[in-house]
Amino acid sequence: MFLIRAYPVFALFVVFPGITLVPTAAPGQTPDPIVLRLGGDPGGTARYRHAKQLSLHLPEELGGEATTRTMFRLDQTVEASAHDSVVVSSEIREFRFEVDPAPDQLPDLGRLEGMRFRSTATPSGRIYRIEVDGASGPVAAPLRDQVETWLRELGFPALPVGPTRPGDSWVDTTRVPLSALLGLQGTAEAVEVRTTTLRAVDETPHGPTALLDVRTEWTSGGEGPSPDVIVRGSSRQSVRFALESGWFVDSSGTSFIRVEISSGAGAEPLRIEAQGSYETMLLDGDG
């Protein structure tokens, strides 16, 4: 059986500066391929604002209908950039959370302000190490797992491994715990498939900007500890990446997920649904 936690699920993300070439082609010709890679000078910092609204549809015994609103500001700094890895440190500068209707008790989330974590990724953005400042002992591993899922759930997407042209797509697949996606306690997992497409490269006030479409699908894990849990969900994002500055400019999207948990032979399954909308904006950057 799974229980709804008394604290919110919210999304953190890591974004990285990149190095790329702008495709140049005469009208009617196929543009030259471009290479999108993580990079940037150490010390370059970008400051972002992220806002999310989530509508939860729960059984009455678990609280019924509820709406959560989350806002936070995040500073991100390139610590190191090499041919095989990029290290980015992040700090939460401001965090706000609201629930409607307000619960009897709400945890003090003020401690999240000032939270710092560091991620190490391949040049194409696949994260292989996460370190959370101050996290040690039994809480260290679960906290790293949670942060990693936040980074994937609503973060800017990983980049293609090789050269790409407008119209090309690349796919990342992983298994994620429902405890991280929806705040459910338990061992159930979902399969997450994220498909990113380079739609175009346009001139904008930020200079040449790559326009990315991102679609994420969640389905049941299908084996292991969660055969009685059915998961269906998806999200869509539009993302802009400024080629000259090497920073992501903004992202906006929506998501929907439905979970059914079997509670025994002949019994109605427990049904949970969540609909979300979110937006991320670059406030300023000196990278």
The stretch 167-186 carries a mean pLDDT of: 79
Give the model's pLDDT for residue 137: 65
3-state SS, residue 183: coil
**pTM above threshold 0.85:** no
Query: Starting from the edge strand earliest in sequence, which strands make up the sheet with 247-261, in order?
Result: 127-132, 116-121, 86-100, 65-81, 45-57, 270-285, 247-261, 229-242, 207-220, 189-204, 169-177
- For the chain, count helices (H), then strands (E): 2, 13
Nearest in space to 68 (alpha carbons), one of 110, 132, 116, 5: 5
The structure tokens 């904006």 sit at 281
Q: How is the chain split among helix, strand and coil, in percent rounded to 5?
A: 10, 50, 40
Segment 63-92, tens digit of pLDDT: 789 898 988 898 989 899 888 888 989 898
Give the model's pLDDT for residue 149: 63
Say what percent of the chain tops pLDDT 70: 72
CATH number of 18-285: 2.30.230
Q: How far apart are CA 246 and CA 2, in angstroms?
A: 42
Q: Which residues of 37-55 are buried (b: 16+ CB within 10 A; e: fewer)?
A: bbbbeeebbbbbbbebbbe
Give the model's pLDDT for residue 169: 96
Q: Where are the domains of the chain?
A: 18-285
